[in-house]
Structure 1
C-alpha cells in the first residue's frame, strides 16, 4: 500500500512526522485532500485552520491547529511548515475558550486571535 511521508513543523519544534494514508489541509483557496500519487503542489495554509492526518498504521486521525504557513507535496512527501502549530491532543481547552472569549469581548471578530482560538478548539474536538 502506498503511503505519504508527512512532516508538520513549526519554528519551535516538529509537531508530527510519520507515514500517512491521507492528509487534509485548508488552503487560502479551499480544502485539499492529499493521497499518495498526488500531483506536486505548493500552497498557502489558511491561518487559523486545522490540518488532519490519517496515520498509515491505522491509528486515530491526528489533528493540529496551524497558523499561517505553507505546505508542499512532491513524490509522496508532504511538508507542512506552519508559523504556529499545536496538536489537538495538546490543546488546553479551557485556555483556548478563554482566548476565544477575550477576542470576542474585544470586538475582534474574524481576527487572527479568534480564528486561532477556534482552530485550537476544533483540533481538540471541542468546537468553539
Structure 2
C-alpha cells in the first residue's frame, strides 16, 4: 500500500509530520478515510473531533478542536485550532470538563472529542 505525506499543524506548533498509510478525520460532514491517490478535497474539522494517523509504527489518535483538512493525491494537510495526542489526555480531567460544561456547547464538544480520542486509541 502506498503512503501519503501528512503535515499536521496547529495554531501554535507543528504537531506532527511524516508518512502514513491512511488518515481518518472527523469533519463536519462525517468521518472520512484518506489514502494515497485520494481525490482532492477541502473539509472543515469537527469541533471535538478526532484525527487518526496510521503509520508503520501503528496508529496515533489525536483530539482536534476545529480547523481544516486539505487533501491532494499525495499529501494531507491538517490545520487544527488545537490538538493533543490521546496518550497525554487525562481521562478524569476530560470527564470532569464534560460534566462541568453545562450550556457551553464548545466546551462539551471539546471534552467529548478528548474522550473519543482515548476510546479510539484503545486506552
Fold-level similarity (TM above 0.5)? yes
Give, in whole Å, the separation in 2 of the partners of 1:47 and 1:19.
Answer: 25
**Partner of residue 115, structure 1:** 109
**Partner of residue 125, structure 1:** 119
CA deviation after TM superposition for structure 1 residue 99, in Å: 0.6
Which has the larger share of strand?
Answer: 2
**Partner of residue 78, structure 1:** 76
Give, in whole Å, the separation in 2 of the partners of 1:78 and 1:98.
Answer: 33
Give, in whole Å, the separation in 2 of the partners of 1:112 and 1:53.
Answer: 24
Q: 3-state DSSP class of the match of 1:83?
A: strand
Q: How many residues align?
A: 121
Q: TM-score, normalised by structure 2?
A: 0.90
**Partner of residue 33, structure 1:** 33
Contact 1:70-1:80 at 8 Å conserved across structures = yes
**Partner of residue 65, structure 1:** 63
Gaps of 5+ in 2: none
Q: 3-state DSSP class of the match of 1:2?
A: coil
Give, in whole Å, the separation in 1 of the partners of 2:95 and 2:47.
Answer: 18
Q: TM-score, normalised by structure 1?
A: 0.87
Q: 3-state DSSP class of the match of 1:36?
A: coil
Contact 1:4-1:35 at 8 Å conserved across structures = yes
RMSD over equivalenced CA pairs, Å:
1.7
